[in-house]
Amino acid sequence: MSRQAHLIGSIGLENAETAMTKAAEILGPRCSRIPDGETGGRGYWIRWQQSTFDNCKDLQEGMVQEALPGFKDSVRRPFYKIKQGVSPSDIELGDLGYAKEALSSYQIFSRLVTEEKISSDVRFQVSIPTPMALVCGFIMAEDQLNVEPAIESAMIKDVDQIQAEIPPDHLTIQWDVCYEVVGSDGGPKLPYDNNIPGTVERLARLCGSIDDRVELVIHLCYGDPGHQHIVDPVDLGTSVEFANKICAASPRMINAVHMPVMKNRTAEAYFKPLKNLDIPNDTKLILGLVHFTDGVEGGKARMATADKFVDDYDIATECGFGRRDPDTILELLQIHRDLCS
């Protein structure tokens, strides 16, 4: 069976052109969508959004934390609150920058297609965090639900601009779902009760904002701060439940759902929940079972176990690899290629 390699988003090379060129060069026909690598200041997922909140006239810094439960890094994380006298309905965040970055990189992508360095049937992928990621990552707990509508509105504005300026048959949009998965599996608390139904309701809205002609991917994630998960899942049960319920609730088809596979999980118990996977036949399952540290051999071992429960899936890493040593990136892409062969 021919498999495809899916790239989550970040690729730790020097710039977007290098990231896209190398991905296309190494993966070739085994990769049908290519992201810009989220290079430069975007390499640490949402952290580049700090300036958005620093510059918002309706918010102010409320506290700073350098050690969060489950976060195995030492990043300084400021959290913001609504300024006294400001109504939540009046909060304006301004330009988040996702559309600006995507449109700039798409110009490079288009040129690389013209130069035949990227195949003309490959889509340009834009990976975007859910609004809840910015809510949980930047807003103090007591104001999270009050600020959420402003963040969602700003995010949808960027998504609308991306869709307005990139042809739909050239575009893939991926929603990165991390805080919601972690919070539903014993991690830091979400600001709403009934974690999975509340998340599915929000994701259905986000999926509904994507044109039917645009390819849509859901990336389920357990985080990677300090190259470790915020929570280590016991098995794929939470991911399978999310996949089933998101696909059922979405007003449009979801083209692919990605779920992570821990490096040390080759036992059947971890993969067994895949027996309960109930997604449409046209929705591709992507298993994030590629790990640099055990390479092709480790990937094949995890695939051998996965094959006992599902027979049609593509492969990826668990998370983006924007914070990896750049000297390992090309080899990691080659591991993807070899596992697809």
pLDDT of 247 reads 97
pLDDT for the residue 226: 52
Say what angle helices 195-208 and 144-165 make with each other, to 10 degrees: 30
pLDDT value of residue 78:
82
Please give the model's pTM, rounded to 2 decimal places. 0.93
Q: Could you state, in order of their start, the residue ranges of all structural domains in the chain?
A: 16-340
Query: Which CATH fold would you assign to the domain 16-340?
Result: TIM Barrel (3.20.20)
Mean per-residue pLDDT pooled into runs of 10, the chain (341 residues): 88 92 96 91 77 90 65 69 94 92 97 97 96 91 94 96 97 94 78 91 97 97 63 85 96 97 84 96 96 92 95 92 82 95 83
